[in-house]
Amino acid sequence: MNNLPDSELLDLLHDDVPCGDLSTQSLGMGAQPAHLVFQARQAMTVCATEEAVRLFELAGASSRLVAGSGAALLTGETLLEAHGSAAALHRAWKTAQTLVEWASGIASATAAIVASAGGVAVACTRKNVPGTKLLSAKAVLAGGGVVHRLGLSETLLVFHEHRLYLDEAPAHTVARLRRSQPEKKIVVEVGNLDDARLWAEAGADVLQLEKFAPEAVSACRQAVLLSALQRPPLLAAAGGVRTDNAAAYVAAGADFLVTSAPYTAPPRDVQVVFGKAP
């Protein structure tokens, strides 16, 4: 898992402290030696603690990572510690806390769906908040998920909105894509069982079953099994996949799950405890 580069972390610090910390400066206590601890207020799968440690370092403090991204913590367990002047700790405190809480929310939500899926892959889409792609992907990986697609440049996914402008048989479309992009899997999003049959027979590698209920996924699985295709497609359940229904989609026959749900998960709560250094 990659960490955010220093340039982006410095931008975050500058955004929060563009012209100095007015409260700390006005109180005149910034030079006092201090320490703090990040602790989990609730069970969570951790993410972005590496970034938080580096934020404190960039602010002029020293910091120690206790729980790295992907760690599963219980209430009260420690994520990191930091030592330095009160001014340095106050400069990075809230930015670091917010980053960890937000990213850990995504990681924890992903981990919950992964647990419900019982070993079937959970792939998170590119519908993350614009500007958060790197850390959103890191949080998905920390939660045990995989990245469905980071953007439009590396995968083939044929939507209905593409097919509106094609005047050819599905088999011809698949053949053209296979000739032009021979190393890529051909994924086709379908919205009903008839379309699923059509594109399965055309040779699609993966059918992305958009907003199929579990019963419809099961019917699609049966149709694929009865078709006797030499290369039956994988079935990806997508649209509305959550912790409470992931197991039902797996039981219905989905080969993997595609979801955006973790990106709207509430942040996990991190307690920050300050103290005076001896």
Q: Summarize pLDDT for 230-268 with one digit per residue, the tens.
A: 889 999 999 999 999 999 999 999 999 999 999 999 999
Domain with CATH 3.90.1170.20 in the chain: 6-114+266-276
Residue 52 confidence (pLDDT)? 98
> Which part of the chain is CATH 3.20.20.70?
118-264
Other CB atoms within 10 Å distance of the CB of residue 194: 10
Q: Distance between CA atoms of 4 and 133, rounded to whole angstroms? A: 10
Global pTM reads 0.95
Q: For 188-225, how does the pLDDT look when each residue is reduced to its tens digit (9 = 90+)?
A: 999 999 999 999 999 999 999 999 999 999 999 999 88
Name the superfamily (CATH) of residues 6-114+266-276: Quinolinate phosphoribosyl transferase, N-terminal domain (3.90.1170.20)
pLDDT confidence band for 137 (50 / 70 / 90): very high
| pLDDT recorded at residue 4 | 94
Share of the chain above pLDDT 70, in %: 100
Crossing angle of helices 49-58 and 6-16, in 10° steps, is 70
Contact status, residue 234 vs residue 256, Cβ threshold 8 Å: yes
Domain 118-264 matching CATH 3.20.20.70: the answer reads yes
pLDDT digits (tens, 9 = 90+) for 163-191: 999 999 999 999 999 999 999 999 999 99
Q: Taking every pair of C-alpha atoms in the chain, what is the biggest distance, in angstroms?
A: 78
Of 63, 37, 52, the C-alpha closest to 103 is 52
> What is the average pLDDT across 16-23?
95
Q: Are 219 and 196 in contact (CB under 8 A)?
A: no
The pLDDT of residue 230: 83
Interatomic CA distance for residues 241 and 257, integer angstroms: 7
Whether residue 62 contacts residue 84, with contact meaning beta carbons closer than 8 Å, is answered with yes
CB 208 within 8 Å of CB 157: yes
Token pair 């563009």 is found at 18
**pLDDT reported for residue 48:** 98
